[in-house]
Structure 1
C-alpha cells in the first residue's frame, strides 16, 4: 500500500507479512474499533492485562477498558511510573512475575498501552515470560506509532546505554488510533514527526517532496494521518525483508547513532528522542556531503524542512548544546549496530537514498564533529 498524502483517508489496515508471525496494523481515527476483533483473537480466553503508565492511564485507560468490555474482554491494569527509568531490569522482573502471577498462558496476550517505553518494556517481558506470551501494541504517541510499535524490537536500558538488553518479539496486533494523539503536547508531536521524515529520507524521495510541500502544516491531523500510514507501511516492508536486522533494516537507524549519543551525553529529560534523531539526521547528511556523497542542496533541504516544522536540524539547536566530539564518538563506539569494533553509520547519497557505512573513519568522524560543534 502507498498512502496518498493529498487525500485524507479513513482507518487503514496494513500488514507485516512474516509468515506465522504476520500481524495487522490498524491506523487512523477509529483504529481501536477496527482492532477489536483482532484483540479478541489475541485474547482467546476473554481476559487480558493492560500495562500502561500514570499519564496515559489518566487519559485513555477508562476508554480502552470500556471498549474491551463491550466485546466481552475482562481486563486488569498495571500502572507504572512514566519515563525511561521504567526500562530497567527491576521493572522487567516486576512485569514478568506479574504476568506469571496473573496465570497468563502462552496463547494469551497482554496489551502495551503507551509510548515507546511501555511498548519496549512490555514486549520484552512478554518475550521472556513462559518463553513467549502474546502482546498487542497500542501506541499512544506519534513516535511509537510510526516507529517502535512496529517490527518486534523490544528491550530495556542498561548502565551501558539505551536498549542494550532485549529480544525480537513480534506483536500479535498493532492499534495506532489517531484519538490517542489528540492529547499530545506539541513538542511530543513534533518529536514523533522526526521518524516520519526519517522514512522519507531513507528510501522515498517522493514522500519527502510531499512532506516538504506542506511545510509547517504537515503535523495537522488530516495531513498527518496519511503521513503516519506511509511511514508505517515503509517500515513494515523493511521489517518483512529483514526481521532480525541482519542487513537493510539497519537503514532505519538513520540519525540514531548520532541521536543516541546526544541522549546519553545530555542531562536527563532535557532533549526528546525525536529531537536527538532529527539533529542526528541533519549531521548524517552534513557528513555525507563532507565525504562527497550527498549533494549540498539535498542536505540544505533536509535541514530547512526540519527547522520549518520546529525540529532541531543540528546539535547546536538542541536544548542542550554543551557537547564534546570525543565523548560523542566514544558513545557511538558502543552502539549495538557496530561490528568488529568499527562504527557503523547510516549515511546518504541524497534524499531517499540512504546506505549503510559499516566502517566509519573514527578519526575523520571526530574531526567532523569537532568542526561542527565549534
Structure 2
C-alpha cells in the first residue's frame, strides 16, 4: 500500500507493507543519494530490529545510537547526547537520520534531525502501533519540558515513511493498547464506519486480519488533514481530539503512569462527556466511546480533580490569547473545533 503526502517541496511517500523493513534500501535509495546513515533507536526496539535494518542497508555506512525507552527520554536534556553522537559519527547535511522506534524516538530523532546543522534528512520507520497510525506522519517533531509535553518542537517532514505491520508482533500488549487509543480517535473524528468496525470486534486479535487496512485508513485521514493544514492553524487541530486533557494527565504523573494512548482515551471520553452536558454533542456518544475503550482495555478516567490539571491546560498549544480551542464531536465521525476558555472544564469535577 502506498500513500503520498502532497506538500509541494515537502511531499513524501508512505509505504505500508508486511516485511518492508528487510527491503528498506530499495525505498531509501529513491529519496537519498548519500552514503552515511545514523539510526536512532531505543533499548527495546534496537535489539529486535536494529541489526536487521543495518543488514538491509548494505550500500550505506550505518552508525547507531540506542537510547533508553520511554517518554522521559523525550527530554531537552537528551538532545546533547544525540548531537554528540552525530558529531562523533561525522554526520553532515548530506547524510540521513533514520528514526527506528515508537512515537518517542520518532519525535526526538526528528527534532534532532531538524535542528542539527539546521536540518539533516530524515526517514521514519515506526515500530509501534501508535507511531504507525499517527506520530510518524505529519512532520511534527518535539521534545518535552518539565512544564508540559511537546512544548519545544518544529514542523520537519521526513523524506519517507516505511510502515511494517509485522514488527507489531513483538510489541508488548500494553503498546498495542496504547496505539488503539489513537486508532479509535480517527474513527471518532472522521470515520464513523471505522469506529463501527472497531466497536463490532471483541478484542485486538479480532482485528489482525484487517490491521494493514486499518493502519492505511488512519494514515490516509491524517494525510488529508495535514495537506489541508500543514502548520496546525485550523483543521489539523481535529487530530488533537482528547489531547488537551491527555497531555496534562501525562505531565501530571511525570509520564510514568498513563501511556499517551491511555491518556488520549481518557481525554476523548471526558471531553465528550462535558460537551454532552453542555449540549454541544449528540447525547450518548460518550457512552459509545466508553464502550469501545472497554473493548480494547483502555481507561476512561484517571481519578483526578480537573483543578489539578488547570495550570497544565493553560500551556496547551491550542490556548491562544486566553482562548482555548477544544476538539469536540457533533457525533461519532463528525468533529469540530470549539473556541472556549478554561471555564469549559469547571463542571468536570473528577476526570
CA deviation string 1:143-178 (max 9, x = no partner): 111111000100111122111001100001111111
Is 2:224 the partner of 1:237? yes
1:109-151 superposed Cα distances (whole Å, 9 cap, x missing partner): 1101111111111111111112111111011110111111000
What is the rounded CA distance, in whole Å, between the counterparts of 1:219 and 1:328 in structure 2? 36
In the alignment, structure 1 residue 94 sits paired with structure 2 residue 81: yes
Q: Where do residues 220-299 of structure 1 align in structure 2 (5 Å cutoff)?
A: 220-266=207-253, 268-299=255-286
Aligned-residue Cα RMSD (Å) equals 1.7
Is 1:347 aligned to 2:336, yes or no? Answer: no
Compute the displacement of 1:219 (Å): 5.9
The list of structure 1 runs, each at least 4 consecutive aligned residues, that deviate by more than 4 angstroms after superposition, is none
SS at structure 1 position matched to 2:30: helix
Measured in 1, the distance between the counterparts of 2:30 and 2:97 equals: 12
Matches within 5 A, 1:1-374: 12-33=1-22, 35-69=24-58, 72-217=59-204, 220-266=207-253, 268-312=255-299, 314-315=300-301, 318=302, 321=303, 323-360=304-341, 362-367=342-347, 369-370=348-349, 372-373=350-351
Call closer, same or farther: CA 1:131–1:205 in 2, change over 3 Å: same
2:166 alignment partner, SS class? helix
Gaps of 5+ in 1: 1-11
The alignment of Structure 1 onto Structure 2 pairs a total of residues equal to 351
Alpha carbons 1:26, 1:35 under 8 Å: kept: no
Contact 2:16 2:165 in 1 (8 A): yes
TM-score, normalising length: structure 1? 0.89
Distance 1:109 1:186 in 2: 32
Distance in 1 (CA, whole Å) between partners of 2:307 and 2:250 is 15
| Alignment partners' CA distance in 2, 1:230 and 1:81 | 31
Measured in 2, the distance between the counterparts of 1:126 and 1:267 equals 26
Distance 1:95 1:42, change over 3 A: farther
CA contact (8 A) 1:42 1:109 kept: no
Aligned partners of 1:219 and 1:105: how far apart in 2? 46
**Alpha-carbon distance between aligned partners in 2 of 1:251 and 1:219, rounded to the nearest angstrom:** 28
Give the direction of change, closer, same or farther, for the CA distance of 1:219–1:75 in structure 2 (3 Å limit).
farther
Shift of the alpha carbon at 1:22?
0.8
Structure 2 unmatched ranges of 5 or more: none
Looking at structure 2, the residues matched to 198 and 243 of structure 1 have their Cα atoms a distance apart, in angstroms, of: 19
* Partner Cα distance (1:89, 1:124) in 2: 10
